[in-house]
Amino acid sequence: MNDADFSVNRLGTTSSGLTLVLPSLKALKELNAKKKSSPLLESTPVKKNTRPIKLKPLKEVLTSLITKIKKWVVKTVAVLLYELPA
């Protein structure tokens, strides 16, 4: 933006010309009262997400993961050694 896009207000600061419009306090209170008394919100119960019944132990999961990684490394090394020119 260049300087021509801004105007100087009475305090000497620059402004982009945008104004902020806030609703009245009375309107906000009426809106909140309508939200609180809404029968739609009261009739629908909030369902909580249920947790899984039982998770696998961390040690078992990590052991399995380490085993898979080791197998992958062995296969990768074998392939790389096989592909090396003699």
How much is the average pLDDT of 27-45? 70
- Beta strands in the chain, from DSSP E residues, in sequence order: 7-8, 14-15
Residue 12 pLDDT: 64
Per-residue pLDDT band at 22 (split at 50, 70, 90): confident
Residue 42 pLDDT: 54
Residue 63 pLDDT: 96
Per-residue pLDDT band at 3 (split at 50, 70, 90): low
> How far is the C-alpha of 36 from the C-alpha of 24, rounded, in Å?
19
Residue 86 pLDDT: 62
Bridge partners of 7, per DSSP, are 15
Residue 57 has pLDDT above 80, yes or no: yes
CA 36 to chain centre: 27
Label residues 47-72 b or e (16+ Cβ within 10 Å = b): eeeeeeeeeeeeeeeeeeeeeeeeee
